[in-house]
C-alpha cells in the first residue's frame, strides 16, 4: 500500500466519526471493574436515548488515572474534555443523559488536576485516545508516517544517527544508550538478524509496558519495524508474559491489521524492506526479562541467563546479531523520527533525555500511570501529582526500581528523577515502578519482601544468587522475628557484597540493593530489632528451644 491509499483510508475513517465521543477505558485496570459492561450499557443507552447520529462510544486504552477508574472521557461536548470517575455499569443512563444536559451525579474528574497537567506524554500520547483495536485510529493519529519516512527518505545510518542524537536510553532498567546499541547491531556481520521487544515486565507493582501494549500496540510495532530497518533485521519477536492476555490479544489484532495494510510483512510500503513480527508468550518468570534468558526462552529452551560477552548484539537468537529493547524504548522511536532527535534531546537532563513512564502506587492518594519529563523532582511526582500520603500519613520513603532498586528517604524528595541521581542514592531508575511508603511502613519488612521475591524468582543457575538470596532472606526473617544478633546483621552485609559481585546475571547482582539501601538510610530500624545474646556477646545466635514433646 502506498501512502496516498493510506491517507485516503484515514480520511474516510475520520469522516465517519461522530460529533461526541465517549471514550471508555478498556485497559486491564478498568476492565477488572466491568469496563466491558459499562461500554455495552453506554452503547445501548445511546441507542435508547436516540443519540446514535451524534454520539459514538469508543474503546480506548489506559488514561493513566487507574486508581479512579473505571474512567470515561467525553470529547466534543464542550471546549474542554470532560471526565467521569469510578463509573459503574448502572451509571450509563445518567452519563448519556448528561450529554443532553441532564443531571448526572457520577463523580466528575478534573482534567486539569496536576496528575494530568504535570505530565508530558510522548510514549503515552495516544493512550486513552485511540482505539487500540483499530489501526485506522492509530493511522489517524499520525501512525506509520515515521516508518514511511524512514523507508522512503532515510539511509540506514541516518536512522541510527537520529536515535543517537536523541540521547534515548533503554527503558528496561539499565539505561543503555539505544543509539549505541542499534549501531552495534547494525555493524555486526550476519545475514540474519533479529529484533526483540522485551515485554516481560516482571517487577512487582509495575504495569507501564502492559499499559502501552494494551493502549497503543501499533506504536510499539512501528518502533520495532523502524529498528529492524535500521539494523538490517527482517524478523521480530515480541515477548509478552502470559499474565497479560489482553495485551497479547490486542497485539495479535494489531499485527493482523498491519499485515493487511502492508505495514508489516513483505515489501512494506512497496519497498524492498520485509519485516515480520511473531509473539512469544512467557510463562511469567521474572528472570525471563533478562535478555539472555529471554532469548533462550524464545528459542524454546529453559529461560536461564548465560554469561555475557558475547552480548546479544553480536550473538543473540540462534547465534545471530540481535537487537533487544524494552517496550517503552520502542514506543519512543516514532516520536523521535517524526520530530527529530534534537527535539527529543531538548527534553530532560544532560544525561537522561526524554520522558519516563512510572507506575505510581503505594501509600499515596492518586495511583496510576504517569509520564513525566526526566529530571522532574521526586517531590513534584509524589506530592503534587500523587497528592501525598492519604489522610494522617506522612511519606517516609519512595521505592524505585523494584526488586533491583532501593528506597529513597523522604529527606531526598528534591532529587531529580534521572538515571545518575537515583543511582547515586543507591536506587535505580529501573523500569518504572514507584512505590510510595508512609511512616507506618517497616523498612526491614520491605527489604525482606523484595528479598523473598528475588529468592523465589532466582533461576537457580548460579550459586551466589540461588543460595545467597535464600540465606539473606533467612537472616532477614531471623531479624524481623527478633531472633537475630549483630553477628547476623554482619553476615547479611557480607552476603550483600558477595552476591552483588559474584552473581551471573542482573537479578543476583542487584538483589541486595533493597537491603543495602534500607541499611544505608534506615539502619536504626534494623538495629532496633537485634537481640543482645543472653549467652555473651560472642555467641553466634539463638537456638529455638523445645516445647514439650509428647508423641
Partner 1 sequence: MKLRVATVWLGGCSGCHMSFLDMDEYLIELAGLIDLVYSPVIDVKEFPDQVDVCLIEGAVCNEDNLEILRKIRERTRVLVSFGDCAVTGNVPAMRNPFGDDNRTDVLQRAYIDNTQDNPGVPKADGIVPQLLERVVPVHEAVYVEYFLPGCPPPAARIQEILGQIVTGQTPKLTGPQLKFG
Partner 2 sequence: MAAKTLIIDGKEVSAEEGATVLQVARDNGVKLPTLCHLEGVYDVGACRLCLVEIAGTTKLLPACTTKISEGMRITTDSDRLRKYRRMTIELLFAERNHVCAVCVSNGHCELQTLAYSLGMDHVRYDYIFPKWNVDLTHRMFGMDHNRCILCTRCVRVCWHIEGAGTKNVAGRGATSKIISDLNQPWGDSESCTECGKCVMACPTGALFNKGTTTGEMEHDRDKLEFIVNAREKQQWLP
Ligand X SMILES: Cc1cc2nc3c(=O)[nH]c(=O)nc-3n(C[C@H](O)[C@H](O)[C@H](O)COP(=O)(O)O)c2cc1C
Binding residues for partner 2 (CB under 8 A): 285, 287, 302, 306-307, 309, 455-464, 466-471, 474, 478, 491, 494-495, 498, 501-504, 541
d(CA 216, CA 123): 9
**Are residues 441 and 389 in contact, defined by beta-carbon separation less than 8 angstroms?**
no
Question: Which among 58-66, 143-151, 296-304, 315-323 is the span making contact with ligand FES, rule CB under 6 A?
Answer: 58-66
Of residues 121 and 491, the one with the C-beta less far from partner 2: 491
Considering the rule CB under 6 A, would residue 29 count as an interface residue with ligand FES?
yes
Cα-based torsion angle of the residue sequence 179, 356, 504, 490 in order, rounded to the nearest 10 degrees: 140
Instruction: Cell numbers for 321, please give them.
Output: 546479531
At residue 549's C-alpha, the angle toward residues 543 and 550, to 5°, is 170
> Which strand ranges, in their side-by-side order, compose the sheet holding 355-362?
368-373, 355-362, 433-438, 395-400, 406-409
Q: Min. distance of Cβ 299 from ligand SF4 in angstroms?
A: 17
Considering the rule CB under 6 A, would residue 221 count as an interface residue with ligand FES?
no
505 binds, among partner 2, partner 1, ligand SF4, none (CB under 5 to 8 A by kind): ligand SF4
Q: Min. distance of Cβ 512 from ligand SF4 in angstroms?
A: 11
Of residues 27 and 366, the one with the C-beta less far from ligand FES: 27
Considering the rule CB under 6 A, would residue 308 count as an interface residue with ligand SF4?
no
**Spatial CA neighbour of 74 closest among 65, 88, 85:** 85
Q: Min. distance of Cβ 486 from partner 2 in angstroms?
A: 14
DSSP string, 4-63: HHHHHHHHHHHHT--SEEEEEE-SHHHHTTTHHHHHHHHHHHHHHTT-TTTEEEEEE---
Of residues 250 and 461, the one with the C-beta less far from ligand SF4: 461
Considering the rule CB under 8 A, would residue 414 count as an interface residue with partner 1?
no
Q: Min. distance of Cβ 502 from ligand SF4 in angstroms?
A: 9
d(CA 13, CA 203): 39
Backbone angles phi, psi at 263, to 5 degrees: -100, -10
Question: Where along the sequence are the contacts to ligand X (CB under 6 A)?
Answer: 170-174, 176, 198, 200-202, 286-287, 289-291, 324-326, 329, 431, 505-507
**Spatial CA neighbour of 308 closest among 516, 509, 463:** 509
Of residues 264 and 496, the one with the C-beta less far from ligand SF4: 496
Could you give the 3-state DSSP secondary structure of residue 279?
A: strand
**Are residues 395 and 410 in contact, defined by beta-carbon separation less than 8 angstroms?**
yes
Question: Which among 45-53, 328-336, 440-448, 539-547 is the span making contact with partner 1, rule CB under 8 A?
Answer: 539-547
How many CB atoms within 10 Å of residue 264? Answer: 26
Distance of CA 511 to the CA centre of its chain: 20
d(CA 531, CA 551): 33
Considering the rule CB under 8 A, would residue 486 count as an interface residue with partner 1?
no
Considering the rule CB under 6 A, would residue 496 count as an interface residue with ligand SF4?
no
Of residues 212 and 287, the one with the C-beta less far from partner 2: 287
Question: Which among 316-324, 432-440, 473-481, 540-548 is the span making contact with partner 1, rule CB under 8 A?
Answer: 540-548
Q: Min. distance of Cβ 404 from ligand X in angstroms?
A: 7
Query: Please, what sign has the CA dihedral across residues 426, 427, 428, 429?
Result: negative
263 binds, among partner 1, partner 2, ligand FES, none (CB under 5 to 8 A by kind): none
Cβ-in-10-Å burial (0-12, 13-18, 19+) of 318 comes to exposed
**Are residues 301 and 173 in contact, defined by beta-carbon separation less than 8 angstroms?**
no
> How long is the chain?
551
Of residues 29 and 179, the one with the C-beta less far from ligand FES: 29
541 binds, among partner 1, ligand SF4, ligand X, none (CB under 5 to 8 A by kind): partner 1
Q: Min. distance of Cβ 490 from ligand FES in angstroms?
A: 27
Question: Which among 22-30, 129-137, 308-316, 334-342 is the span making contact with ligand FES, rule CB under 6 A?
Answer: 22-30
Of residues 73 and 401, the one with the C-beta less far from ligand X: 401
**Are residues 508 and 495 in contact, defined by beta-carbon separation less than 8 angstroms?**
no
Question: Which among 332-340, 346-354, 440-448, 453-461 is the span making contact with ligand SF4, rule CB under 6 A?
Answer: 453-461
504 binds, among ligand FES, ligand X, ligand SF4, none (CB under 5 to 8 A by kind): ligand SF4
Q: Min. distance of Cβ 80 from ligand SF4 in angstroms?
A: 50
Considering the rule CB under 6 A, would residue 27 count as an interface residue with ligand FES?
yes
Of residues 142 and 205, the one with the C-beta less far from ligand X: 205
Q: Min. distance of Cβ 312 from ligand X in angstroms?
A: 9
Question: Which among 28-36, 141-149, 380-388, 458-466 is the span making contact with ligand SF4, rule CB under 6 A?
Answer: 458-466
Of residues 161 and 533, the one with the C-beta less far from partner 1: 533
Residues near 95 by beta carbon (within 8 Å), at least 6 away in sequence? 22, 42, 45, 72, 84, 87, 104, 106
Q: Min. distance of Cβ 402 from ligand SF4 in angstroms?
A: 14
In this chain, which of 63, 233, 251, 264 binds ligand FES, going by CB under 6 A? 63
**Are residues 465 and 504 in contact, defined by beta-carbon separation less than 8 angstroms?**
yes
Could you give the 3-state DSSP secondary structure of residue 394?
A: coil
Considering the rule CB under 6 A, would residue 507 count as an interface residue with ligand SF4?
yes
DSSP string, 219-248: HHHHHHHHHHHHHT--EEEEEEETT-HHHH
Q: Min. distance of Cβ 509 from partner 2 in angstroms?
A: 9
- Binding residues for partner 1, rule: CB under 8 A, are 535-536, 538-541, 543-546, 548-551
- Binding residues for ligand FES, rule: CB under 6 A, are 25, 27, 29-30, 62-66, 69, 71
Amino acid at each position: 500500500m502506498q501512502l496516498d491509499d493510506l491517507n485516503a483510508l484515514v480520511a474516510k475513517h475520520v469522516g465517519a466519526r461522530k460529533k461526541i465521543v465517549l471514550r471508555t477505558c478498556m485497559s486491564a485496570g478498568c476492565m477488572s471493574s466491568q469496563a466491558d459492561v459499562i461500554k455495552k450499557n453506554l452503547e445501548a443507552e445511546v441507542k435508547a436515548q436516540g443519540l446514535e447520529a451524534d454520539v459514538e462510544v469508543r474503546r480506548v486504552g489506559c488514561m493513566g488515572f487507574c486508581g479512579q477508574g473505571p474512567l470515561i472521557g467525553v470529547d466534543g461536548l464542550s471546549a474542554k474534555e470532560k471526565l467521569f470517575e469510578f463509573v459503574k455499569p448502572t451509571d450509563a443512563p445518567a452519563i448519556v443523559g448528561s450529554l443532553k444536559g441532564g443531571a448526572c451525579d457520577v463523580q466528575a474528574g478534573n482534567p486539569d488536576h496536576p496528575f494530568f497537567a504535570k505530565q508530558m506524554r510522548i510514549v503515552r500520547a495516544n493512550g486513552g485516545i485511540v482505539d487500540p483495536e483499530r489501526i485506522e485510529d492509530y493511522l489517524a493519529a499520525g501512525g506509520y508516517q515515521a516508518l514511511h519516512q524512514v523507508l522512503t527518505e532515510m539511509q540506514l545510518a541516518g536512522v541510527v544517527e537520529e536515535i543517537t542524537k536523541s540521547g534515548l536510553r533503554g527503558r528496561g532498567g539499565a539505561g543503555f544508550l539505544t543509539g549505541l546499541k542499534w549501531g552495534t547491531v547494525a555493524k555486526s556481520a550476519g545475514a540474519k538478524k533479529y529484533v526483540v521487544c522485551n515485554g516481560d515486565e516482571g517487577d512487582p507493582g509495575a504495569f507501564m509496558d502492559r499499559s502501552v501494549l494494551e493502549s497503543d500496540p501499533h506504536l510499539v510495532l512501528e518502533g520495532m519495524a523502524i529498528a529492524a530497518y535500521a539494523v538490517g533485521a527482517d524478523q521480530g519477536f515480541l515477548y509478552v508474559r502470559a499474565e497479560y492476555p489482553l495485551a497479547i490479544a490486542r497485539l495479535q489484532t494489531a499485527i493482523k491489521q498491519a499485515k493487511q495494510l502492508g505495514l508489516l510483512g513483505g515489501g512494506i510500503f512497496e519497498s524492498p524492506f520485509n519485516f515480520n513480527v511473531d509473539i512469544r508468550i512467557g510463562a511469567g518468570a521474572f528472570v525471563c526479562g533478562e535478555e539472555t534468558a529471554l532469548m533462550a526462552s524464545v528459542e524454546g529452551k529453559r529461560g536461564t541467563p548465560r554469561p555475557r560477552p558475547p552480548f546479544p548484539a553480536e550473538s543473540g537468537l540462534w547465534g545471530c546479531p540481535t537487537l533487544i529493547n524494552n517496550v517503552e524504548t520502542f514506543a519512543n522511536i516514532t516520536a523521535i523520527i517524526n520530530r527529530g532527535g534534537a527535539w527529543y534531546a531538548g527534553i530532560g537532563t544532560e544525561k537522561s533525555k526524554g520522558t519516563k513512564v512510572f507506575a505510581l502506587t503505594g501509600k499515596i492518594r492518586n495511583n496510576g500511570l504517569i509520564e513525566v519529563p526526566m529530571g522532574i523532582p521526586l517531590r513534584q511526582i509524589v506530592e503534587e501529582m500523587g497528592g501525598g500520603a492519604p489522610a494522617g500519613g506522612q511519606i517516609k520513603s519512595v521505592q524505585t526500581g523494584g526488586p533491583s532498586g532501593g528506597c529513597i528517604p523522604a529527606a531526598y524528595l528534591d532529587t531529580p528523577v534521572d538515571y545518575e541521581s537515583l543511582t547515586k542514592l543507591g536506587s535505580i531508575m529501573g523500569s518504572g515502578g514507584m512505590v510510595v511508603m508512609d511512616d507506618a511502613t517497616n523498612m526491614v519488612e520491605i527489604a525482606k519482601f523484595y528479598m523473598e521475591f528475588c529468592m523465589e524468582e532466582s533461576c537457580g543457575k548460579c550459586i551466589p544468587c540461588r543460595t545467597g538470596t535464600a540465606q539473606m532472606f533467612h537472616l532477614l526473617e531471623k531479624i524481623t522475628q527478633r531472633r537475630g544478633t549483630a553477628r547476623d546483621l554482619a553476615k547479611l552485609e557480607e552476603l550483600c557484597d558477595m552476591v552483588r559481585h559474584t552473581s551471573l546475571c542482573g537479578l543476583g547482582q542487584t538483589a541486595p540493593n533493597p537491603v543495602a539501601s534500607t541499611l544505608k538510610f534506615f539502619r536504626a530500624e534494623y538495629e532496633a530489632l537485634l537481640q543482645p545474646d543472653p549467652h555473651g556477646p560472642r555467641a553466634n545466635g539463638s537456638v529455638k528451644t523445645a516445647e514439650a514433646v509428647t508423641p
